Structure 1
Amino acid sequence: MRRTGPGRPGVVRITGARTGLTEDVKGRQRRYMISMAVRTVCVVLAVVLWHESRIAAIVALVGGTVIPYFAVIVANGGREGAPGLPDTFVGAQPRTMLPPGPSEPVEGTIVPPRQGD
């Protein structure tokens, strides 16, 4: 997938197709790795802050123990649903080329009978 940059227009999706499986797995792996990095920071902070502020160290330790649970749930959450189709833009409609027909039948034309007749 191309990246957009200055002077490049953004990519417009015109279908309701989901992202590819490879991209989905990469995104979930990236989220999991970020959450594990945050967990590591919490555990290191708990060790460093243990003698300075026990309350902050305990909060960091709780964060370090709770984050993996939610990271696994998010990583194994499955694929996202198919996105909705884009809204269509209906601009000004072109004018009709023919004028409306006569309200009364023209002489010599065959008019089909009405259902009530």
Structure 2
Amino acid sequence: MSSPRSARTSRPVHGDVVRITTAGTSRADEMSKRQRNYAIAMSIRTVCFIGAAVTGAAGLSWVWPWLIAGAIFLPYVAVVLANAGDSRASSLPLPGGGDPQRQLESTPREL
């Protein structure tokens, strides 16, 4: 037999997870994620430059222009992605199709 405490603390076994907050991630976690994404993009850019030099020296004249183009445009893409904010919606969808922005109507007061 289970104790009442264990029944209260056990997690429900539902398929859908309901988010109960619209709060974003912490500032430190967000900065860490942005820095990691930027470092990955700049690593790919470095590989493009090295690949362009190697393929240009090997005589593959159809490959190196594409690698140079990638190396030129990747910094722009990396900065845009690093500066992209949290994409969470500001409103919380309510179960049952309720409108999260709905408010009670005020009735005129009779004096």
TM-score normalized by structure 1?
Answer: 0.57
Question: 2:73 & 2:87 partners in 1: Cα distance?
Answer: 27
Whether contact under 8 Å (1:39, 1:67) holds in the other structure is yes
2:66 counterpart of 1:59: yes
Give distance in 2, aligned partners of 1:29 and 1:86: 31
Residue 38 of structure 1: how far off its partner (Å): 0.8
Please tell me the root mean square deviation across aligned C-alpha atoms, in Å.
Answer: 2.4
User: Identity across aligned pairs (percent)?
Assistant: 35
| Structure 1 stretches lacking a partner, 5+ long | 1-10, 91-117
1:41 — aligned with what? Answer: 47
Distance 1:27 1:73 in 2: 14
1:10-41 Cα deviation digits (max 9, x unpaired)? x8631111111111111111110110111011
Report the structure number with the largest CA radius of gyration.
Answer: 1
TM-score normalised to structure 2 length: 0.60
Counterpart of 2:38 in structure 1: which amino acid?
A: Y
Aligned residue in 1 for 2:76? 69
* Aligned residue pair count: 81
Task: Tell me which protein shows more helix as a share of its residues.
Answer: 2
How many angstroms apart in 2 are the aligned matches of 1:23 and 1:15? Answer: 17
Structure 1 residues 59 and 81: CA distance shift in structure 2, 3 A? closer
